Chain A
């Protein structure tokens, strides 16, 4: 009953075990997210999986930037033209039916590819609606996602991670001693698997453990359940037992933990300790649920004990560093997620890396993809010649018979993907308190930053606030000359409607995000607001409003930088920067180089992960 006695988690031992369990039921367990560098240890593990999988099972490798036609399948043009009827070509996924695919450099998988893979994991088939073909092809397979990510921010797309039972972090090779199973064992286990039972209590225990560890997705306990079953089948037992559940929880639930369970009541509340001393654990307590640990209505003795054992063992396997990182990095995680949104990758008509072609005309700078256009035209040649022959039957046979007839319908243009652009939004405090000379310095700072923006081909926008309201001086543009001009003509004086300035910045930043660009807010102020949102003067209300507006910027996950323009660093400006989650930089001490570095640091972080 105490955690110390639970089976110790031995990562290198687990690696071999995971390989065996995965080999028993690749399609059911989804797969393994294997975080490891491309070293002999990883090769050893992959070789083990291969050796354990039954002979003849297809193994396919999926490169990072695979095209849809290679992944899902499509029309086999050469065969089609040769055969004179449509011939389809199976994609990698359909080829791997019944087997395993390896995803190379999976930490860089795009959300779009991840969604296609996820759909196949969910349905066990490839739904093909391409090139005039409509097919359903079976694709019951498991995946090994090779994740070479170095930092925590580089991770598999969450949609995929959620569907893979095992998240294995391989740091060393596999000890020979931990490989107990052979291919024959796996084959025997596969035969036993469909008839392996599972107790209702185990389902409850796994769900309770998942919940206690803050694992929200319901796929996790379901996958744990299947792992428990596979484990029982592997050792030849008719039904999964508590040990298998414990193992499954350790392998599947522990790596997904987002919190540690609330400490058991005896430690927190002495009265409760008395209670539990009086009531041995074979008595169910129909007490109203305690705040954090809801108990199911069927609190049978076996379930309670089992749930506790499973939880204790799993808890021991939660990597200590993981939770610490989660707690500390909550804020930066929110930002990392935002940066990873679909918005960070932008499709542009004519710049960036080509990512395939689509039907369309080469207009507005779109580039004709000659190869795809010819491919599209090829199957229709016979038909077109026939049509033309009918039409021009009166005329003598043309020498153009051998020409390829391309119609407008065939036109394909190349699609490009571009790194998302950064739009730097300058929010300038032009109030009287900023005093005119400080305003001049602020303008100087902005000009410095503009030069940087020019180098990075960023867009810039300028919002100024003074008197009663904020004003958008310049909507996002790449014309830096206009930005300079708009600043030069900016008058100073009046109150400081700080909150309105921040609100305007947030609105604009969200517009920028919706367009698929990444906004960075650079706020230049002394932080001494004195006009509330309502337009009424009053320092107290103005400050409260400003802090609230700043919090909204933080909760929107935006990158921000605050340049304090006051002669001495202001507590209020610092508080504001904190509420905004912004980098704080007092301008009086900031030289040109420092300024530019600070912005680079801020924008560089948001451009991370292209």
Chain B
């Protein structure tokens, strides 16, 4: 039983970023960096309880979407040729998979099933965490402490959406599309730019300074610890409301209009900030659209761009030695120059 997402006090930017990714998974995940004891991992784990269930092919090891099961999933192909008929589907919870520090590579990418090899002498593929996270979320706490060879692996899979394993003459290829969520404390070290780039959004969390908010955080946490079931029940209504927002946002997403001026402004902003590559531009647009969908607006406006700019761009800025201002400040400054002050 996890702490309810809706019961998290403050941290609006972090919560919004997660909701936006839940609405549009193509945004590519969230990196949450910030102070200790701000409930970063609480929020990610809470997300698991919040997400609406998804439809998946019964028996598919990678939980494929029945609507898209035509594609190259071997598991689905096997099922189809086995039964001959159409694939059955069921509703399952969206996977939120923890990638713990100290995980070994074989568990991350998958390997031969040791049990079956030993007991039956059979070669069988045992899917790893990447398979389990397909269509869901892959969460790495203390992402900046993750070992380099695992980082390389993630960078590769996150870009291709596919995991390829070759072991013992067995060659397996399976879909691995997941929303990458990382959290960490900047004091523990920085992330490689390549990995940073794989995160669609990045948010900075701080401990609330306001005493009332601090009291509320401690009070809710304590209430949860004293009686988890009661606390979750108490927040159920609020959770349902948030879940409904996600569902509504998803259904509206495709209808949100992105007018040409908004596209131009997004590009101008990225140019003014000198972000590397096109991903910033793309993410900014998608985030603004998801925000509009989430907030019930039919058209992307400046207000959405304004809200989306910092989380989608702040981790893509080149370091500027002439400017010791934080990246958030730089994004805000560029916004003000472009659109005037809010």
Residues of A within 8 A of B (CB): 68, 71-72, 75, 80, 84-86, 111-112, 115-116, 118-119, 122, 127-134, 158-159, 162, 198, 200, 203-204, 206-208, 210-211, 216-222, 225, 294-297, 337, 341-343, 347, 358-360, 379-380, 382-384, 386-387, 407, 409, 503-504, 506-507, 510, 514, 533, 551-552, 555
Contacts and interface: CB of A to CB of B under 8 A. Distances in A.
A129 B37 contact: no
Contacts of A220: 37
Nearest to B107: A129
Contacts of B102: 68, 71-72, 116, 129-130
28 contacts: A68-B102, A111-B145, A111-B188, A112-B145, A115-B142, A118-B142, A129-B102, A129-B128, A132-B112, A132-B113, A159-B185, A206-B218, A207-B211, A211-B211, A216-B37, A219-B36, A220-B37, A294-B209, A296-B211, A296-B212, A341-B187, A360-B149, A379-B117, A380-B168, A383-B117, A383-B168, A384-B168, A507-B321
A158 B36 contact: yes
Given A203-B219, A211-B214, 10 more contacts: A116-B101, A129-B104, A129-B107, A130-B107, A208-B211, A216-B35, A219-B36, A222-B218, A342-B190, A384-B168
Q: Which 5 A-B pairs have the closest CB atoms?
A: A342-B189, A217-B37, A129-B103, A219-B37, A129-B107
B-side interface size class: 35 or more
B267 interface: no
| Overall SS of chain A's interface | helix
Given A382-B117, A407-B168, A158 B187 contact: yes
A552 B319 CA distance: 13
B163 to A, nearest CB: 15
Contacts of B222: 198, 203, 222, 225
B218 A207 contact: yes
A555 B324 CA distance: 9
B264 interface: no
A588 B122 CA distance: 78
Given A219-B37, A296-B215, A111 B118 contact: no
Interface in B19-69: 35-39, 41
A119 B217 CA distance: 20
B215 A204 contact: yes
Interface of B: 35-39, 41, 98-108, 111-115, 117-119, 121-123, 126, 128-129, 141-142, 144-145, 147-149, 167-169, 185, 187-190, 207-212, 214-215, 217-219, 221-222, 319, 321-322, 324
A68 B104 CA distance: 10
A10 B209 CA distance: 32
B130 to A, nearest CB: 11
Contacts of B167: 409
A383 to B, nearest CB: 4
Contacts of B169: 387
Contacts of A383: 112, 117-118, 121-123, 168
Contact of B115 (A86, A198, A409): A86
Given A218-B214, A222-B221, A382 B321 contact: no
Contacts of B211: 207-208, 211, 294-296
Contact of B106 (A132, A297, A341): A132
Contacts of B207: 216-218
Contacts of A347: 148
Contacts of A409: 167-168
Contact of A342 (B111, B144, B322): B144
A422 B119 CA distance: 53
Contacts of A407: 168
